[in-house]
């Protein structure tokens, strides 16, 4: 850690940065970007759907980050009011994204599941478990939310995976 970063960290920790203390400026040489030799570029998977500015997934190094995925089928239809159908479709949508990225559910390390109804929790667990062999489940957070971007969404799922 350079001295400027150390001083800045100490001042921030002490709450003094906003109290009139001036931090030394970095030199022009210090401001230049570090060389990017050997750094793999990020890969954006999928394209925005329905005009929403988001990638279905992003590969960064050995990781794949899958965006929140709703249950639209290949024709853009949603099984309105049918939680099991939406859950299965969202999981299949993520299966396809993971495959495109070069990985699969057995390499998923973290999921976030958003439900709009707490009463769907048991059914979500039943369907979710079928996507993981031998009971090897990723870390997961499940939240019940007041709403999702589309009024007919009953859930949305995102995940992070490691490439094979």
Determine the Cα–Cα distance for residues 152 and 122; give it in Å rounded to an integer: 20
The pLDDT value given to residue 77: 94
Share of the chain above pLDDT 70, in %: 76
The pLDDT value given to residue 11: 35
Which stretches of 95-151 are assigned E, i.e. beta strand?
A: 108-115, 139-144
pLDDT band at 10 (very low <50, low <70, confident <90, very high): very low
pLDDT in tens, 92-110: 999 999 999 999 999 999 9
Mean pLDDT score of the chain:
83
Residue 82 has pLDDT above 70, yes or no: yes
CATH architecture for segment(s) 43-162: 2-Layer Sandwich (3.30)
SS3 36: coil
SS3 4: helix
Determine the Cα–Cα distance for residues 68 and 33; give it in Å rounded to an integer: 32
- Strand duo 108-115 + 139-144: pairing: parallel
Does the pTM surpass 0.85? The reply is: no
Residue with tokens 């980050």: 65
The angle at the Cα of 141, spanning 139 to 145, to the nearest 5 degrees, equals 165
Which stretches of the chain are assigned E, i.e. beta strand?
A: 43-45, 57-60, 63-69, 108-115, 139-144, 155-162
The pLDDT value given to residue 16: 37
pLDDT band at 21 (very low <50, low <70, confident <90, very high): very low
Determine the Cα–Cα distance for residues 105 and 137; give it in Å rounded to an integer: 9
Domain ranges of the chain: 1-32, 43-162
Determine the Cα–Cα distance for residues 98 and 159; give it in Å rounded to an integer: 10
């Amino acid at each position: 850690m350079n001295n400027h970063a150390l001083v800045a960290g100490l001042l921030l920790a002490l709450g003094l940065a906003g109290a009139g203390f001036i931090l030394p400026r970095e030199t022009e040489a210090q401001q230049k970007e570090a060389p990017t030799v050997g750094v793999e570029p990020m890969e954006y998977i999928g394209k925005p759907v329905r005009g929403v500015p988001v990638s279905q997934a992003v590969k960064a190094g050995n990781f794949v980050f899958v965006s929140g995925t709703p249950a639209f089928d290949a024709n853009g239809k949603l099984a309105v009011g049918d939680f099991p159908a939406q859950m299965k479709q969202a999981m299949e949508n993520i299966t396809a994204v993971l495959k495109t990225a070069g990985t699969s559910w057995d390499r998923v390390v973290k999921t976030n599941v958003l439900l709009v109804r707490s009463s769907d929790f048991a059914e979500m667990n039943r369907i979710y478990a079928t996507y993981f062999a031998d009971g090897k489940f990723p870390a997961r957070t499940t939240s019940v939310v007041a709403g999702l971007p589309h009024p007919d969404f009953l859930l949305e799922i995102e995940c992070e995976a490691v490439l094979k």
